Amino acid sequence: MRRERRISGPTVIVAVAASLAASYGMQRLNRRAETDPRRGTASPAAESSRAAGPRRADHGQSAPVENPSRVVREPSPRLAEPGAQAPSMPSYEEMFAEDMRLNAMRVSTVTEQLRAEGRDPEWASRMEVLLEAATSELLSGNGRLIRLECRSTLCSVRAEHHSEESQADFIATLPMRVFRDLDGAFMARFAGEGGGLETHGFFARNGHSVPIPEVQ
Amino acid sequence: MTHLRMLVFFTFAAIVGTLAFPAVTSATSDRVYGGNGCQPNFGYNYGTDVYLHAGYVRNDSTSSSRGVWCPVVRSELSSSAGLNTSEIVVYDGNDNGAVWCGMYSYDSTGSLLRNEFEVTGNPDTGRETLTFTSMNLSDSTNGGHYSVYCDMPRSDISDSKVYFYRVREN
C-alpha cells in the first residue's frame, strides 16, 4: 500500500521565504556586477554609454564624434551596502591630483582638436566678439583674458584670475552668458606658469560638443 | 516524490520573488528636491528678493531676474553612467522673459566638465517642465558632483518660480 506524503504548511512557508531571500540575493549580486567596473559584466546601458563616445550637450542633433583618446583611471570604490563598513574614499589630495592630471590631458587633447580645425571666418568672428564681451565683463577687476580663439566648431578661452572666488564665478557664469549660442562648456582650473590661478575653457558650436576624452 | 514537490515549490517561489523585488534592487537613485532648498546666487543676478516658500522658490523682483543654486545629492559613487533624464518644474510668470536652468557637472577641483541649459517657451507663461538629457560624470573621479542653477525673470504677470526638480542617477 502506497503511503501518500503531504507537505506541511510550515514547510511551504519556509520554502517560499528561502526562495524569496535567494531571489533577492541574486538580484543584489546582479546589481553589484552592473555597477562594479572591476567585474566583467557591465549593464547594457553602461555599455551603450561607453560605445557612444563622449556625451553630448546638443540634444542628439549631431552625429557622434570619434573619441580622440581615452584616459585610464583606477576603479572607483563602491558605495557601501547597507550595514557594511563604508569603503575608504581616496583622500581629497589624491582626488584633486588625479583630476588635475586628467584635466591637463583633456586640455591638451581638445587644444589639438581645435588646432586641427580650419577657421569658419563668419562664425568664428561672431563668437569671438560674443565671448570677448562676456569675459571682459566677468573679468573686470577680477583678472585678465590671456587668449581667445574660435575655429569652425570650437572656441578656446584662457583667463587669469585674482582670487579663487572670482575664478569660481567665472567658471559658473560664462556658460550662462553664452549658452544660447554655444553648447557644452568644459572649463578646467589649473595653476599658471607663475603659479597664478588660470582657467582654460572650451565651448562648442550649437549642435556640436567639446570632444573631451572619456575616462574609463 | 517529496523532493520533487519541494523542487517545484522552490522554483515557483523563486519566480514569485523575482517578480516581487525588482523595485527594491533598482540600480539608480531617483530623487525629487523642493525648490525651497535652493539658495540665492551671490554673483550673477544676485538679489535679496528671492523668497523661499513651502513647495517653491520665487523671484519677487519687478525689475530684475534672479538666480538660485539648487543642491543635488550624488550617491551612486561607483557609477560612471551619469544622470538619466532629469527634470525641473518651473513657473514662467513673465511674457517677455523666460525661466532658464542649467545643470552643471563639476570634478573635485571645481573644474566644469559638462553642462546643459534648458529654457521655457517665450512668450508663453505658466508651468513648464524643463528636461535634461545629456549630463554625466563619467569623466570625473569620486569628488565629482552636480549642481542646478535656475534664473527666474522679473515678476510680470506673476512671480516666476522653481517648484521642484527630479534627478535620476544611473
* Residues A13-68 pLDDT 10s: 666 666 666 666 555 555 444 444 333 333 333 333 333 333 333 333 333 334 44
Q: What pLDDT, on a 0 to 100 scale, did the predictor assign at position A17?
A: 65
For B34, the grid coordinates are 523642493
- Cross-chain residue pair B109–A175, CB shorter than 8 Å: no
Measure in Å the smallest separation between the Cα of A103 and chain B Cα atoms: 8
CB distance from A15 to chain B under 8 Å? yes
CB distance from B80 to chain A under 8 Å? yes
Q: Place A193 in a pLDDT band, splitting at 50, 70 and 90.
A: confident
Residues with Cβ < 8 Å from B142, sequence gap 6 or more? Answer: A76, A77, A89, A90, A95, B77, B108
Q: Tell me which of A4 and A128 has the higher pLDDT.
A: A128
Residues with Cβ < 8 Å from B99, sequence gap 6 or more? Answer: B90, B91, B92, B119, B120, B128, B130, B150, B151, B152, B153, B160, B162
How does the average pLDDT of chain A come out, rounded? 74
What are the C-alpha distances in Å from B52 to residues B35, B45, B55, B102?
A: 8, 17, 8, 20
Q: What pLDDT, on a 0 to 100 scale, did the predictor assign at position A67?
A: 45
A84 CB-contact burial (10 Å; exposed 0-12 / middle 13-18 / buried 19+) = exposed
Domains located in chain B, CATH noted: 29-169 (2.60.120.260)
∠ CA A114-A63-B84, rounded to 5°: 100
How does the average pLDDT of chain B come out, rounded? 83
CB distance from B138 to chain A under 8 Å? yes
Q: Given a cut of 60, is residue B1 above it in pLDDT? A: no
Percent of chain B surpassing pLDDT 90: 49
Question: What ipTM was reported for this prediction?
Answer: 0.76
Q: Tell me which of B84 and A61 has the higher pLDDT.
A: B84
For B24, the grid coordinates are 527594491
Q: What pLDDT, on a 0 to 100 scale, did the predictor assign at position B16?
A: 58
CB distance from A79 to chain B under 8 Å? yes
Predicted structure pTM score = 0.70
Q: Place A215 in a pLDDT band, splitting at 50, 70 and 90.
A: low
Q: What pLDDT, on a 0 to 100 scale, did the predictor assign at position A42?
A: 34
Q: Place A173 in a pLDDT band, splitting at 50, 70 and 90.
A: very high
Query: If you average pLDDT over residues B133-139, what whole number do you get?
Result: 65
CB distance from B19 to chain A under 8 Å? no
Measure in Å the smallest separation between the Cα of A78 and chain B Cα atoms: 5
Q: What pLDDT, on a 0 to 100 scale, did the predictor assign at position B120?
A: 93
Nearest CB partner across the interface for B113, out of A30, A77, A186:
A186
- Taking CB atoms and an 8 Å cutoff, what residues of chain B touch A188? 109, 111
- Cross-chain residue pair A57–B24, CB shorter than 8 Å: no
Measure in Å the smallest separation between the Cα of B144 and chain A Cα atoms: 9
Of the candidates A98, A96, A87, the one whose C-alpha atom is nearest the C-alpha of residue A36 is A87
* Residues A63-119 pLDDT 10s: 333 444 455 554 444 444 555 555 567 788 888 898 899 899 999 999 999 999 999
Domains located in chain A, CATH noted: 7-51 (no CATH), 110-215 (3.30.980)
Q: Place A10 in a pLDDT band, splitting at 50, 70 and 90.
A: low
Side-chain-facing half-sphere of B36: CA atoms under 13 Å: 6
Q: Place B150 in a pLDDT band, splitting at 50, 70 and 90.
A: very high
* Residues B30-52 pLDDT 10s: 899 999 999 998 766 666 789 99
